[in-house]
Amino acid sequence: MVPEGARVQRSLGFFFREAIVRLGRGCNVLRLTFERSIHLWLLVPAGLLFLMFTVFPLIYNGYISLHHFQFIRRIFNFVGARNYIRLFQDGLFLSSIGNTLRFVALATATEVVLGTGLALLFNARLRGRRIMLPLVTLPMMFPTMVVCAVWVMLYDFEFGFLNNFLRFLGFSPIQWLSDPKIAMESIVLVDIWQWTPFVLLVILAGLQSIPDYLYEAAQLDGANGFQMFRHITLPLLSFQIKLAILLRLIDTFRIFDKVYAMTGGGPGYATETISLYIYREGFRYFNLGYAAAASLVMVFLVLGISILYARRMWKELRV
């Protein structure tokens, strides 16, 4: 017969041993789980910041957009979708969407075509390339307000360099910023001057990653320059080109500073863009509910276009 005390002692010992083993196993499972999902844990700080600074403001913006929120007079009344209805009844808002899309299309297309051309030129190992490349990329390093001030002087109808040059050549001067037919194109030109170098750098990086042996093999097969460009360069550059389009698309969609500094949305409403419209409603009239609705429309427009485009890009990349 085992004494009662010893039996209790043994069962206690068994219990503790079992507990330690199970704890060890549990820890092991935890450790393994942690190790397997370490990549997710590392994302937690960034995720929290994303929630705090992107998701929460977006949700809050959506909440505000359902209210008549007059900041100065401290009015905050629920109005449902009325702000959105008013937005789509406002001709100025609709024309500002049209102007923005026009700016996006013109600027992005020209910058990508020009940037690709310049990148091909710089990739051709020309003499003086090392000096020229930093010079060509200078415009994107200047503050936009300085760029605008310089271009406003260049565009001056009476005394500007461009019109003086046209007069010298015997042409009539152009109302660069005061003619509603070309004011938007004049601003697009400034954006092209400033941001084509960015596209150039993205494409040049892509070009330099294409191995030389592909061209050598093509040359051996008797391919000419255009054929090599069409069948080697262009397909291998397509990701960089699409990336440049996506980045410029998102950036040009937000166009505000150049329009604000150069035309203020004029002449008339010819260069009024969505950002300028939102700025005016939000920071000049302090109609924050209405401005929030307009900004949400803009976010969904950009997001819609970007997601569709990016999904296609990634799909092609996977293939």
Partner 1 sequence: MRHWILISAVVVFLGCLVVGAEPVRLVFMGRDGPYEAAMKLAISLYKMVKPHVTIEYLGLPWAGLREKITIELVEGRGDFDLVVLDDPWTPEFLPAGFLEPLEPWFAKTGKVVDPDFIPTALALGRWPYPDGTLYALPIVGNVQLFAYRRDLFEKHGLKHPPETWSEVLVAARVLAEKEPDIFPVVFRGAKGHDIVVSFLPILFAYGGNIIVNGKSGVDSPEFLQAFKVYLELARYAPGDVSVYRAARLREVLLSGKAAMALEVWPAWIPELDDPKVSMVVHKVELVPHPGQVVKTAPMLGIWLLGIPATSKNKAEAFDFLLFVTSPEIQKVMALHVGNPPTLMSLYKDPELIARYRWYPAQLEALLAGVPRPRVPVWSRVEDILGGYMHEALIGLRTPEDAVRAAHEAIVAVLEEERR
Of 96 and 252, the one with the shorter C-beta distance to partner 1 is 96
Under rule CB under 8 A, how many of the chain's residues touch partner 1?
Answer: 25
Task: Please select the residue that binds partner 1; options are 284, 315, 318, 319, rule is CB under 8 A.
Answer: 284
Give least dist CB 104 to partner 1, A: 22
Residue 36 in the binding site for partner 1 (CB under 8 A): no
Contact map string, positions 37 to 76, toward partner 1, x by CB under 8 A: ----------------------------------xxxx--
Give least dist CB 55 to partner 1, A: 24
Contact map string, positions 240 to 279, toward partner 1, x by CB under 8 A: -----------------------xxxxxxx----------
Helix (H, G, I), strand (E, B) or coil at 239: helix
Query: Phi/psi of residue 91, each to 5°?
Result: -60, -35
* Distance between CA atoms of residues 79 and 95, nearest Å: 25
Helix (H, G, I), strand (E, B) or coil at 76: strand
Residue 157 in the binding site for partner 1 (CB under 8 A): yes
Query: Which H helix or E strand runs over 75?
Result: strand 75-78
79-138 residues in contact with partner 1 (CB under 8 A) are: none
Here the tokens at position 195 are: 């941001």
Task: Please select the residue that binds partner 1; options are 121, 123, 156, 193, rule is CB under 8 A.
Answer: 156
Residue 283 in the binding site for partner 1 (CB under 8 A): yes
Of 62 and 268, the one with the shorter C-beta distance to partner 1 is 268
Give the amino acid at 23: L
Q: Distance between the two ends of the chain, CA-based, in angstroms?
A: 76
* Distance between CA atoms of residues 315 and 149, nearest Å: 43
Question: H helices then E strands: how many in the chain?
Answer: 16, 2
CA 104 to chain centre: 12
Contact map string, positions 165 to 204, toward partner 1, x by CB under 8 A: --------x-x-xxxx------------------------
Of 248 and 258, the one with the shorter C-beta distance to partner 1 is 258
Here the tokens at position 7 are: 């039996």
Of 82 and 254, the one with the shorter C-beta distance to partner 1 is 82
Here the tokens at position 229 are: 């460009």
Cβ-Cβ contacts under 8 Å for 190 (sequence gap 6 or more): 147, 148, 151, 258, 262
Of 79 and 214, the one with the shorter C-beta distance to partner 1 is 79
Q: Nearest CA to 107 among 166, 192, 167, 178?
A: 192
* Distance between CA atoms of residues 134 and 186, nearest Å: 25
Of 147 and 259, the one with the shorter C-beta distance to partner 1 is 259
Q: Which residues bind partner 1 (CB under 8 A)?
A: 71-74, 156-158, 173, 175, 177-180, 263-269, 280, 283-286
